[in-house]
Amino acid sequence: MRPLVTADEYRKRVLRGIVALKPQRIPLDAAYGYILAAELSATRDLPPFPSSAMDGFAVQSADTGLASAEAPVVLELAGEVRMGRPALFEVARGKAVAVPTGGMLPAGADTVIPVELCGLAEGGLVVTGPSPPGHNVRPAGEDLRQGEVLVPAGRRLEAADLGALAAAGYSNVEATPRPRVAIVSTGDELVDPGTEPASGQICESNSFLLQGLVRRAGGEPLRAGRVPDDPAAVLEALTTAAPSADVFVCSGGVSVGRDDPVKRAFASSDAVSFLQVAVQPGRPQAFGTWLGKPFFGLPGNPMAALVAFELFVRPALCIMAGRDPQTQYVPATLQGNLGASADCVRYVPVRLACRGSEALAYPSGRRRSNQLAALAQADGLAEIPQATNLEPGSRCRVIRIRDG
């Protein structure tokens, strides 16, 4: 048996050759979730012109200074500003112009009296109190000045960013695309869900699991097929998927079994290395380059595939997508016993609960690595360091496998 490579060492090796995908121009209405490649600044002041913050009347503050309920000032109504139109009337001394919320502030005016605070009489607008300069006026550039950074590079575009970019006039952005991940499942025993498995067969599940994991990691999954334990079929599926993929993820067939097809597919080349990594589950792993694109061979056992994905594939996809590749661990207090492995870091499904601001991790009870049902009830994977049994109350760290 070859010596085990630690997970950290393996991750370093895997990530060494991974680079961010080339940014693409993405229409703003499709840009949600993309990573902005370069910062974007305001190309003009926001808002672009001074406007009224209220439905009211634009006037000169100086005209209102002496106004009171006892001695109202009456200003002549000189016109009305319409939404979306330039303010055509100038506000001279003694004049007022009606202006709606967001309407352009007419030249000459420096304050807006809200409709509620004044009256209309035959002679014009009746003002019963002073309105200081700038009152109810939104100056141009109040939100952002031309040239100021609107959204920084590396930002994952979310609702507020998209709104701000649209407000600044951007209809598309330069963003790092989502890595397209071709997922291939291997195994003579596999049938598609919806088909009745014959004796000795099982339903193929990894491509669905991996599809979800890829999406969650910000990638674009492409289920590229379920193939038998035949090296030629594996290579054919990968080759067919290659034009529409940035990275390959294959499950099954990477260990030492006689029929392991992925191992046999790459036996005569050194493009892909097969290693034993010190994680449990998830020991046999393959990584390399195929047709110029990163290739991951994950163990077939679904729980092992999940662990391998989280530890090695997810960081790679993050780098390709321009995202932070660090695994985000939840610090938690363990609510059960977890036995360590002598030579591996172990990952065990746990449920998470909150006690105040503390996260509690409850082992699911079912510990065998092929148990998808245990995973479906879990919120995360608790990490058990090599040769360190964890007792109730121990601090541990958990990789979340579901959000919220």
Distance between CA atoms of 67 and 131, rounded to whole angstroms? 9
Per CB under 6 A, 72 contacts ligand AMP = no
How far apart are CB 253 and Mg ion at their closest, in Å?
A: 5
How far apart are CB 224 and ligand AMP at their closest, in Å?
A: 12
Task: Please tell me the count of residues contacting ligand AMP according to CB under 6 A.
Answer: 17
CB 106 within 8 A of CB 87: yes
How far apart are CB 199 and ligand AMP at their closest, in Å?
A: 14
- Interface with ligand AMP (CB under 6 A), residue from 45, 110, 161, 204: 204
Distance between CA atoms of 110 and 118, rounded to whole angstroms? 17
Out of ligand AMP, Mg ion, none, which partner does residue 205 contact, by CB within 5 to 8 A per kind?
Answer: ligand AMP
Q: Would you tell me which residues interact with Mg ion (CB under 5 A)? A: 187, 252-253, 300
- Interface with ligand AMP (CB under 6 A), residue from 177, 299, 349, 363: 299
**Candidate segments 47-55, 77-85, 106-114, 203-211, binder of ligand AMP by CB under 6 A:** 203-211
Of 2, 95, 4, residue with least CA distance to 342: 4
Q: Residue 277: which residues within 8 A CB-CB, separation 6 or more? A: 4, 5, 6, 7, 10, 283, 284, 285, 308
Per CB under 6 A, 205 contacts ligand AMP = yes
How far apart are CB 35 and ligand AMP at their closest, in Å?
A: 30
- Per-position DSSP letters for 248-279, written without gaps between them: EEEES--SS-TT-HHHHHTTT-SSEEEEEBSE
- Interface with ligand AMP (CB under 6 A), residue from 136, 206, 276, 364: 206
Out of Mg ion, ligand AMP, none, which partner does residue 276 contact, by CB within 5 to 8 A per kind?
Answer: none
How far apart are CB 190 and Mg ion at their closest, in Å?
A: 8
Per CB under 6 A, 282 contacts ligand AMP = no
3-state helix, strand, coil in the chain (%, to 5): 20, 35, 45
- Interface with ligand AMP (CB under 6 A), residue from 177, 218, 231, 253: 253
Per CB under 6 A, 211 contacts ligand AMP = no
Give buried/exposed letters for 235-268 (b at 16+ CB in 10 A, else e): bebbeebbeebbbbbbbbbbbeeeebbbbbbbee
Residue 333 structure tokens = 């207090």
Judged by beta carbon, residue 89 or residue 248, the one nearer Mg ion is 248
How far apart are CB 215 and ligand AMP at their closest, in Å?
A: 17
Per CB under 6 A, 281 contacts ligand AMP = no
CB 138 within 8 A of CB 52: yes
- Per-position DSSP letters for 372-387, written without gaps between them: HHHHHT-SEEEEE-TT
Which residues of 30-179 form beta strands (DSSP E)? 35-36, 40-41, 51-52, 56-59, 73-80, 95-99, 111-114, 118-121, 124-127, 137-138, 149-151, 172-176
Judged by beta carbon, residue 219 or residue 253, the one nearer Mg ion is 253
Q: Length of the chain in residues, anyone? A: 404
How far apart are CB 262 and ligand AMP at their closest, in Å?
A: 8
The interface with ligand AMP within residues 174-193 (CB under 6 A) comprises 185, 187, 189-190
Give me the residues that bind ligand AMP (CB under 6 A), please.
185, 187, 189-190, 202, 204-206, 251-253, 255, 257, 299-302
